Structure 1
Amino acid sequence: MNDDRPSPDALLAVAQRESHGRLKIFLGAAPGVGKTYAMLQAAAERRREGVDIVAGVVETHGRRETEAQLGGLDVLPARQMEYRGKSFREMDLDAILARHPQLVLVDELAHTNVPGSRHLKRWQDVEEILAAGIDVFSTLNIQHLESLNDIVEQISGVKVRETLPDSVLSSADEIALIDLPPQELIKRLHEGKVYVPEQAKRAVGNFFSPGNLTALREMALRHAAERVDAQMVDYMRTHAIPGPWPTRERILVCIDERVEAAKLVRVAKRAADRRGAAWVVVTVETSTSHTLTEADKDRISEALRLAQQLGGETALLQGDDVVTTVLDYARERNATQIVVGRARPRRWRIGKSVTERLFAESGDFNVFVVGGQDDEKPVPSLRRPKIKEKPDWINLAFAALCVSGATGIGFLIDRWLPAASISVAFLLAVMVVAMRSGLRPAIVASVASFFAFNFFFTEPRWTFAVSDTKNILTLVFFLIAAVIVSNMASRLRAQILATRESARRTTNLYDFGRKVTAAVTLDDVLWAVVHHVATTIHGKSLVLLPDGAGLSIAAGYPPEDQLDDRSAAAADWTWTHGKLAGRGSTTLPTSLWLFLPLKTARGPFGVLGVQMSEDADMPSPEQMRLLETLADQAAVAIERTTLVADIETARVATERERLRSALLSSLSHDLRTPLVSIMGAASSLQNYDDMMDHANRHELTQTIQDEAERLNRFVQNLLDMTKLGAGALKPRADWADLNDIVGAAVERTGRLARDHTIKVDIDPGVLLLCVDPVLMEQVFFNLLDNACKYAPPGTVVKVWARRTPNYVTIEVIDQGPGIPPEASEKVFDMFYRVDHGDSKAAGTGLGLAICRGIVEAHGGTIKAEPGLNGAGAAIVIHLPQSHDIDGLAARISADAEPEGT
């Protein structure tokens, strides 16, 4: 049944193209054929139609006739770029996007941009222009296609450096082939219309030889024809045209399990070569395919592999009607010829064979029948025949049992109902046999039911004679109904089994995807891969990954640590060439393992090795498809772990670079500033000591002391931060008075706080704390230093402390600009400083980071909050309060009382 609806994929592609600009490529075989000239002529025609056109970049190479075509076009100025001391002119992509014309001309699509440009290649610039909804005209030589790079080098001896992916040409909406015979192109070269005379002379002797140009011309014509053919197929799919349109020969080969399958493939290959046609080999998997013998399955698999080796496509189709499935696929691929084998002779045949039906229903297709069998004898299957789960005698015994049961039920029915009703019991028995045991036992049950019905329930009974004509008709129709029911029930059974097998494959893939998705590390992914693959094929599996010197076994199930030389050679070949190799393949088949490449779009990642169980030499076609899918998913999972590792490495490198930059900034500015002040003051003392009075000398020495202390603080902060990071800074806890700790910090602040007033308000209930007094003094010194640094002169800095049942709360409050809410956590990071636009507030950004490290080492917490009434900043510290503090305070009070009180 033909479906006249357009293909959803084709409609989606059309919808996507509507929102993008259209790309037209002027394709030539070599430089000088006139691609740029033809592009400018086409642009001039579009301009006369009123289209807004801009010349983004047009390379005239000094040709006067080409430059003349530029007249009247809006030419955007090129963007000047500097690279290694030289100036280069590149297309201004931003200017094109800002101008947003209807059509832009971009010459030399394969051009490589100057380093520093937004994109590496010009075709990437074109993709961005197309994404903005702007149409593009561009030019391309056939030798710049990536897939032809090695072929062009082999033909011409010239390595083309500038290439682009074939997908760029494939995605073009229109291709205009600009062709010129080799002799005319060489004539243009001699006339100086392609290169300057000296360069033209070298070109004729090398690249522009008649043989090279002829080969390049053939490749250009072939690729243009293939692209046009692909566009025609897309058009047919979009407009739901059933086809075929015989514009190009395309051969479809239909094979099955017969011996001549390999011969069909060879015949189709020879026919395709003679006609220069594309060809594809297909086999249809029906609901009864699982009943094929292992030899038949191997024969199909071998034929499909042979087709791949000979350069053809292969496809495995699903459907219950072979003819309909093949014809639908042939219309989808726009095939012109269908090649099939001769119908097998059958002694008993009901209905037409597949070949006869293809002749009758082929319509516009040409059907070719290949007669005879292959000259080679069928290769015996290397699989050991599997022991059937249910031998034939068991199925026949079950059929006899069901017929006997139906006979017994018939005797019960015979007491109340007419004899014709008894046939329902026998039909039910036949259906049960068909659904459980298949068609052959069901046919046997049908015949047995016929005779049992005749012998026991038709007159005269207990004989096979029939006296009544009505009973004869009843028996005949019963036999016909029984055969039909058995056939339908057996087909239903086959479909159920096929559906169950398909569900098993889907479940297998789902389970594998769930396992590898849940795996985090590379080892977990590899273990999930080898374990699942080994379970799937009931054999062994391993994964080999590159280790620098070659491939090594990264995981295996059952565990495997070495390979023999032949297997190792097969694995290396698979890794190098990215193709199947090893046991059962045509490459190094003496290997004990079959190897599949693990590769994604980023490239190869490793090799998957499988070894079947003892009763099989290699996977069946179904297992092979499943293995290939598992290999693809495994490669993606390995790629994911690699990307995660790369991202983590990049993150660590970025963080390291950030810390390095911050540290260098501190060393170059914050540490250099006091050094410059010290050096300046010391130099003044040395050079002008005799000319200075006591006040000036005292001021300079005071400057030296202040800056030296400032430098000492910076260095001490760096040392403390290093110790905290290494875990070497550990508190030496002892009982200490908070008043003494804060007082020592205030005294150290001294000259730093001479423009501020420091007030200390500590609740008398806060007696002693079990802390390291030296480290806690450093905490309060850093907090007071910060407060005095950012708070305006003349303001008050307050230290406030209160005791609660479980901890002591301490706050250092200033009246400065405060800390933004979004930076309340960042201020405790290393080298982070809040920018208030005040250049005099210099520092390394380590003070608060050191405070957090010391406080958290004491089991406390520190955070930044707004100051009083939302003005300024408050650094809040919570330190744990010892439960034994009350008893300690009581003992101290008792010891302090005078005797006799």
Structure 2
Amino acid sequence: MARGQLRIYLGAAPGVGKTYAMLEEAHRRAERGTDVVVGFVEPHGRQATAAMIGDLEVLPRRTMSYRGVEFAEMDLAALLERRPEVAIVDELAHTNVPGSSNLKRWQDVQELLEAGITVLSTVNIQHLESLNDVVEQITGAKQRETVPDEIVRRAEQVELVDMTPEALRRRMAHGNIYRPDKIDAALGNYFRIGNLTALRELSLLWLADKVDEQLGRYRTDHDIGATWEARERVVVALTGGPEGETLVRRAARVAARSKGADLLAVHVARSDGLVGADPAQLARQRVLVESLGGTYHQVAGNDIPAALLDFARGVNATQIVLGASRRGRFAQFLSPGVGVTTTARSGSIDVHLVTHEQIGRGRRQVSVGSALSRRRRLAGFALAAVGMPLLTYGGLLLEDGLSLTSEILVFLAGVVGVALVGGLWPALLAAVVGSLLINYFFTPPTRDFTIAQRENLLALAVFLVVAAAVSAVVDLAARRTREAARASADAQTLATVAGGVLRGARPLTALLERLRETFTLRTVALLERLPDAPPGPDLQRDPNAWRIAASVGPQPCATPAAGDVDVRVDENLSLVLSGRLLDAADRRIVEAFAAQAAVALRQERLSEEAAAVRPLAEADRMRTALLAAVSHDLRTPLASAKAAVTSLRSVEVEFDEADRDELLATAEESLDRLGQLVANLLDMSRLQAGVLGLSLTPIGLEDAVPPALDELGEPARQVRVRLPAHLPAVLADPGLLERVLVNVVANALRFSPSDRPPLVTASEHGGQVELRVVDQGPGIPHEEWEQVFLPFQRYGDRDNHAGVGLGLALSRGLAEAMGGSLVPEDTPGGGLTLVLSLPSAEGESR
């Protein structure tokens, strides 16, 4: 069975018209004779959207009960049984009611697709998993329902439903998106111009990435190697030389000329894995690339131009930036070089050859030390000096003697042995000495350096050439083995350090400590030059010009000159080591570590700055949420009170006594709500500032609960109260305790079904009195319990439109201020129980 196709309408924000556009497409398909069924569409009270369903076949919803509340969900089983050609399924990120066959609606959609049904669906950009935290940072509203990006990326078609922020706000103001009582709060909070502009840009960028991914797949499927300049991509080639920073900055300027261009840096490493570039230079250049908004890549290949062009074509690059050759003129005469070869093969890709200060200075080879140790070279010379005469003496002792060919083979074996022990130069010495001995003792006429036959001359010459060649090959193999071992050790060291840094809480200290352990140093210090330090010849020795940014070990060096090794990171940072001198190969690795230390220092400081700014950002977020919520909660009672008073003062309408009493009651109730809101705000501010006054006295719950219920008015008369007769008094502030009870009981009333009112009960355990306010409403999942105690948030309100939501946050704060606690529990049979624990007055007196 062929899998169905998925078409998604992606909206930048609620209300842009994605459901409307989806239904328009459904009508177009139905008019063409396609079997279309509406599995689920949520109009959200928008008349135009509801009317757009029209005569489309609508599958009845499945009613499900969860914690005493009825929910209408899409009937997946009925839709699969109906098997239409096209199913309309709104809100892809929706979370199904517990008890459904799938947790998420996108999982329902996957089942429909597997059954061969094509699905049209909708999702907003804020519901994509990868953008969830970004949207929360922009809007201040956390999206609890998300869909994995991969689900949307795998859709055959994604259509962006877009609208300018100004047009969307006009739709909001005209009442086409939210109910009238939510319009002002929405316009002042989620639907601000800046928020909508940012969400629109996120949508366009995300969709551009998906389109670019589709283009890449198309080019691969159709074997298209030519560059399509749909988007500028600048590739800069790095060799690990000192000119790399110049090239990176030049490439960044080239990329900056095109809005939205990508910058990619690539280093082509030798495929044999041996050292060919300076890792310290590459590390610094990688940091520079990433700081300029680019990405760093590394590929392997022996043919550098071919590897570079393969990478460029693979990423659909439009331009390549290369440095002019550092080789001399003679070397360029023998070989055209990477730049010229790449330009000749580039085809439609533009190649920029950038001049720099290193032109013509030659390519500095990175030294990795001698192939063999000094001790082995001396042993080789000794073996050559003693071994060749011994082979000669042994040959002379044989009575019958060996043929010249056999003697040459014996001496050749001796030369190979010398090469294995001492390397090239001892072997060359052995070859020369051996050729002279063979000539003198074994080549006719013997005891003379003359050679009678040309064949013997040729054999002796071949012996000398073969001995030299074998010596060179053995020495090269030993050198390569040493280089490979060194490269492997360096890579293992770098990997170990990187792992230690990633696992450490303080990456800079962990890096320096691992460096100290690796090279058995006494101290390692990262010194930073002070901003006001004057340059001069004594700068490296002036302790007043430097400060220790980080160090490990006893008595760190205070100046670069005080250490055994000084590795300059840049003009302001220097890594100083003490304890022993390092050889050249070790210094290269330390230089790479020094570059990483600079990155770690920058990250630590950014983290410190972020930590310092975080309270300010949190305060700003709280103020934003407060203004958005208070603007709604203040406006509603003020509007009701004003409307009642204006009506009473009107001379155009004659009110009877009952109407006047109702209007006065409305005004009184609204002003009471306003007074309670202001009191909560003042108490919350005093609580957060630590200046809330407390007067703890013994008080019985039987005396505290009735006044709280009286303050709640008529709705609280149905609350059931069951307090034990001999319950001990609690130690609390009577006014604050009443405030806590009012807020907690009001919350229970808000969520309790009308036929199952809240229950207030209490018990005493271990010197604590626990008062339980039990409701049998929909309840709250365990993982979201703490959210109900956040200031300016209400559970179930995703856009902060339901009000200030200070009640439970203030209640917990007041309970803790009185030495108690307020925690949630599950209600048996469904619902939520809030447990207020306070110290017993009797336990306190004991």
The normalised TM-score by structure 1 is 0.46
Q: Which has the higher contact order (CA 8 A, sep 6+)?
A: 2
User: If you compute each CA radius of gyration, which structure gives the higher value, 1 or 2?
Assistant: 1
TM-score (norm 2): 0.48
